[in-house]
Amino acid sequence: MREDTHSLGVGYLLWIFGFLGSHRFYFGRPVSGTIYFFTLGLLFVGWIVDLFLMPRLEATAARRYQPGEKSYTVAWVCLVFLGIFGIHRFYQGKIFTGLLYLVTVGLFGIGIIYDFWTLNEQVSSRNRELSI
């Protein structure tokens, strides 16, 4: 039995803003998340379809990412609401880049965009390190 890395309930909550791609970023689909962001969820059609695809997105994320001590949901909440302060980086134990984000407003916003694309891989890598 696999351990869940991402919460289906959180995915459904994010789906409310899914026309901006939020649930797709959360489940580790940054390319389609970006496309949804710029096309309003493929003109809302893809957004509606994703309501039914949500369990599949969650299952794929659970297979793809390393479960462990660091929670993907906590990291995502920190990124979305406190990313410019680097709180998601502090949470992962990345003190230097956390401080850097703190004094540069998330590396002038560019670092935040980078982290939206890579946060799942960062947490997965950190969980792999902590399990050794």
Whole-number mean pLDDT of the chain?
Answer: 94
Sequence-distant (6+) residues with CB within 8 A of 73 are: 6, 7, 10
Given a cut of 60, is residue 1 above it in pLDDT?
no
For residue range 69-93, list pLDDT tens digits in order.
999 999 999 999 999 999 999 999 9
The predicted pLDDT at position 14 comes to 93
In a domain, 3, yes or no: no
Name the band, by pLDDT with cuts 50, 70 and 90, for residue 132.
confident
* Whether this model's pTM surpasses 0.75: yes
Last residue of a domain, one of 17, 40, 64: 64
Given a cut of 90, is residue 99 above it in pLDDT?
yes
Q: Are 87 and 75 in contact (CB under 8 A)?
A: no
Given a cut of 90, is residue 19 above it in pLDDT?
no
Sequence-distant (6+) residues with CB within 8 A of 27 are: 6, 11, 57, 58, 60, 61
In a domain, 41, yes or no: yes
Task: Give the range of the structural domain holding residue 56, as residue numbers without chain letter.
Answer: 8-64
In a domain, 23, yes or no: yes
Residue 59 and residue 80 in one domain: no
Q: CA angle 48-124-5, nearest 5°?
A: 50
Residue 15 and residue 58 in one domain: yes
The predicted pLDDT at position 2 comes to 60
Q: How many structural domains comprise the chain?
A: 2
In a domain, 2, yes or no: no
Residue 28 and residue 45 in one domain: yes
DSSP secondary structure, 35-53, as one string: HHHHHHHHHTHHHHHHHHH
Amino acid residing at 75:
A
Residue 127 and residue 76 in one domain: yes
Q: Which residue has the higher pLDDT, 57 or 18?
A: 57
The predicted pLDDT at position 28 comes to 97
Q: Are 46 and 85 in contact (CB under 8 A)?
A: no
Q: Are 91 and 103 in contact (CB under 8 A)?
A: no
For residue range 43-76, list pLDDT tens digits in order.
999 999 999 999 999 999 999 999 999 999 999 9
The predicted pLDDT at position 81 comes to 93
State the residue for tokens 């994320």: 61
Residue 49 and residue 77 in one domain: no
